[in-house]
Amino acid sequence: MTAPGNSSPDDALTYASAGVDIDAAEDSKWRLKKLVESTMTAGARGAFGGFGGMFRVPTDSAKPTLVASADGVGTKIKVAVEADRHDTIGHCLVNHCTNDILVQGATPLFFLDYVAFGKLIPSVVEAVVAGVAAGCRENGAALIGGETAEMPGVYTAPDYDLAGFIVGIVDEDAVLGSERVRAGQVLIGLESNGLHTNGYSLARRIVAERLHLGVHDVFPDSDGASVADVLLKVHRSYLPLLRPLLPDICAMAHITGGGLPGNLNRALPGNCDAFVDTSTWTVPAEFRVLAEAGRVSKDEMFRAFNMGVGMVVIVEADNAARVMDAANAQGIRGWVMGGVAPGTGVVQLDRSVA
């Protein structure tokens, strides 16, 4: 018998026996090297595998101001896990973060990601980061670092979690926001690409418990697309469209969790309201299906989902046509959805401008 406090060679513990596979982590790291290198921009410094990412701050701005944001993709990740489709969720993450700093007029410099697994599978890590790299290339951000963790006991395989951290830049005098908003300006809606990355806890419950559908079943009124096809559409980035238009924009709102009422109000000063006419666009089919199957009220739908509006751009009336023409030229519908009037800083749905 082995004495207390001692152990025989057969009882020796390893990191692998505790659920952490260092060899798999090393395999994953080297799978990512080419993906990371594919995102490098002129400002990126240092080689792959360093302890910290480095980036040279551009000097072509009179008052360079860094803008940072961090976010995740919520329970959209559960759809990716259930569908075993992991190559778009990272792209969604980068685009979401890009839009978040874009509303202040910032363009991306670099990105970092964090992905944590219950059981690390190198091919899944590679697929997730391939999506991150695709998003970085689309938005001109260098993927200069990140972390891949295996955390048995915190996550249960095959579940994992994903978060991203973005840093962008804007000249201080060009920062967009509520300070530039005044009565008489116009709201331009830019169409979303589906649910983007919010409302998934409610959407998944409706799909599973009311529609009784799995991820590979056909989603109603979708021209034969599966549930996974509909729910895993990549969160649209509005940077390619809006970057050249930034000088003509006063403020923007990225429509994420909280919907139009909970995001458009963040772009308003305390003495203005935003009046939104919801009859100016047709709500996409996926939202109508979810509302009917879940018997979700209109107010709740507009709080939980983007309802077909991914970004709201606030401009002077004279600039509205330019924004809409640029959007339509890129295959993104843009339309006048309302206006700004004196008020108290709230969003008014389907109420006439006073």
Q: Determine the distance from the C-alpha atom of residue 347 to the mean position of all C-alpha atoms in its chain, rounded to a whole number.
A: 23
Residues 151 and 197 in one domain: no
- In total, how many domains does the chain have? 2
Report yes or no on 57 lying in a domain.
yes
Q: What angle do CA 153, 158, 160 make, to 5 degrees?
A: 70
For residues 136 and 146, the answer to whether their CB atoms sit within 8 Å is: no
Weakly modelled stretches of the chain, pLDDT under 50: 1
- CATH number for 165: 3.30.1330.10
Would you state the pLDDT for residue 1? 47
Residue ending a domain, among 172, 206, 229, is: 172
1 domain-assigned: no
pLDDT tens digits for range 290-349: 999 999 999 999 999 999 999 999 999 999 999 999 999 999 999 999 999 999 999 999
159 and 206 belong to one structural domain = no
Q: Residue 242 belongs to a domain with what CATH number?
A: 3.90.650.10
Tell me if 309 is assigned to some domain.
Answer: yes
Q: Are residues 222 and 153 in the same domain?
A: no
* Biggest CA pair distance of the chain: 87
293 and 149 in one domain? no
β-bridge pairing 272-276 and 347-349: parallel
Q: Is residue 325 part of a domain?
A: yes
Same domain, 37 and 65: yes
Q: Residue 78: is it exposed, middle or buried by C-beta count within 10 angstroms (0-12/13-18/19+)?
A: middle
**pTM of structure:** 0.91
Q: What pLDDT, on the 0 to 100 scale, is given for residue 33?
A: 78
Q: Could you tell me which residues come within 8 angstroms of residue 244 by beta carbon, excluding any fewer than 6 positions away?
A: 326
Is there a single domain that holds both residue 47 and residue 31?
Answer: yes
10 is a domain residue: no
Asked if the structure places residue 3 within a domain, the reply is no
